[in-house]
Chain A
């Protein structure tokens, strides 16, 4: 009955278990209030402004309902997501594969890295006109743009991660007669996984940027095309719907990758804790 004596002591000394109410213990209250004030101010100010220039939250909500009802939002979102998944998948496969090669072989690294560094340093948007000339305005140009935006962070992080694997781990593998393949898949790849995950996190954000840039300029399908279309029609409320969707998409993807990163890097944490 230790708890009872605790309570007795507390009562005797006139102490209180509860902390006095503090605003700081309720951060979500402050957050909600802040967002509400912002939305209210926007609503009031927005209604007085020319609707071509600035819209207001309820108009954005109405536009959102309209776009969802007509199915347009989902159709375009699906198109965008398909391109994103295909382009990102390609950059993941190639980036990790080539990264393993570059991290393992110094000759391969020397052959490839001048080109890769040059391409990585180039702001990839600058390549848009060239790519549009080569690949047209359809799905393929989006795919290539997303690939180019996402590929380099994955490649560079994978190569860096593989180079970072301590030589003694590989030596132990060799001492136990592991084949090259086993060393690659059982030693190097798992050891490099946290680095790869970090590269993927950067790449996801960039892939979304690549998708939007491609769609803004080709302006035929996808969320970016909706932005251009409604911008030209001066339908500001609908533009905001698209911007909010893109924001949520970005937020969701980044959170998703963070979770993945924690899952993949879990052994790394346990390794550190065991020491």
Chain B
């Protein structure tokens, strides 16, 4: 307490000032908030002047959101999409991780499968949507297949390269201590490759979301993607923005959730790898 008074006195005597001149770089939070606020206000003012068929404005979107929530429409379609999404993603993990382990560990498996895996991984999955719809119809099985195919390759490829990156020394030590193949898989391979696997999961989460939305937009029967098509065909632009914003939030929540999970489950290694 004493020192601070002294300091203040000395500073005053020497005519020094403690405050820095105002600089924008010191108030970045404010700049951020201001930027967002300005955008919303400009949108509101501009949007009210534009034909509502082409552009809506924030308050109209807010009203549409309340309306869609109250009618239960949004929740029904969103839960339908999410259920398929979760099941498809889990299936892609259940297939991608073991197959990746297998391909990384056994050269025979690698040579047998890698041509197909590389080719399918490079083929944009959205290109498969028309043919999957032809095979599986417009319902949940087709969506499931698309989510699965979108998710499985990032997981598979990352697990594969994760296992290959495991140093031979670790495996040799395991062998020297008499570990069997099962032990080597579960105690050495999987933990060492885990950060890679999680990086793959993070990619898969985003890709599968794109997959399911595209599929739903294409079939236009149920789900969030169908809502997008329905409202745009009806030129209900205010309602159209509601699923878009909701999907943005979902995207943030999902990627953020996986990053957190990654930090919690695999804190021993930070590997960033995007294939």
A: which residues have CB within 8 A of B? 23-24, 27, 30-31, 34-35, 38, 52-54, 106-107, 109-115, 117-119, 121-130, 132-134, 198, 201-202, 205, 208-209, 212-213, 216-217, 223-224, 227-228, 231, 234, 236, 239-240, 242-243, 246-248, 250-251, 254
Question: Which of these, A38, A52, A118, contacts B248 with CB under 8 Å?
Answer: A118
Q: In the assembly, what is the distance between CA of A72 and CA of B90, in Å?
A: 40
Shortest C-beta distance, B239 to chain A (Å), equals: 11
Q: Are B228 and A129 in contact (CB under 8 A)?
A: yes
Q: Are A130 and B114 in contact (CB under 8 A)?
A: no
Given known contacts A38-B116, A53-B134, A115-B35, is B124 in contact with A126 (CB within 8 Å)? no
The A contact surface, by secondary structure, is helix
The B contact surface, by secondary structure, is helix
Q: Are B54 and A34 in contact (CB under 8 A)?
A: no
Q: Are A53 and B119 in contact (CB under 8 A)?
A: no
Please tell me if B232 contacts chain A, counting CB pairs below 8 Å: yes
Q: In the assembly, what is the distance between CA of A106 and CA of B53, in Å?
A: 38
Q: Are B36 and A213 in contact (CB under 8 A)?
A: no
Q: In the assembly, what is the distance between CA of A128 and CA of B232, in Å?
A: 10
Note all chain B residues with C-beta closer than 8 A to A24.
107-108
Residue of A nearest to B30 (CB): A110
Q: Are B111 and A27 in contact (CB under 8 A)?
A: yes
Note all chain A residues with C-beta closer than 8 A to B54.
133-134
Note all chain A residues with C-beta closer than 8 A to B122.
247-248, 250-251, 254
Q: Are B124 and A107 in contact (CB under 8 A)?
A: no
Question: Which of these, A118, A121, A201, contacts B255 with CB under 8 Å?
Answer: A121
Encode contact with A along B240-255: 1 for CB under 8 Å, 0 otherwise. Answer: 1101100111011001
Question: Which of these, B24, B32, B118, contacts A113 with CB under 8 Å?
Answer: B32
Note all chain B residues with C-beta closer than 8 A to A53.
134-135
Note all chain A residues with C-beta closer than 8 A to B140.
none
Note all chain B residues with C-beta closer than 8 A to A240.
131
Residue of B nearest to A157 (CB): B274
Which of B134, B206, B255 has the most C-beta atoms of chain A within 10 angstroms of its own C-beta?
B134
Please tell me if B130 contacts chain A, counting CB pairs below 8 Å: yes
Note all chain B residues with C-beta closer than 8 A to A113.
32
Please tell me if B266 contacts chain A, counting CB pairs below 8 Å: no
Note all chain A residues with C-beta closer than 8 A to B31.
107, 110-111
Note all chain A residues with C-beta closer than 8 A to B123.
243, 246-247, 250
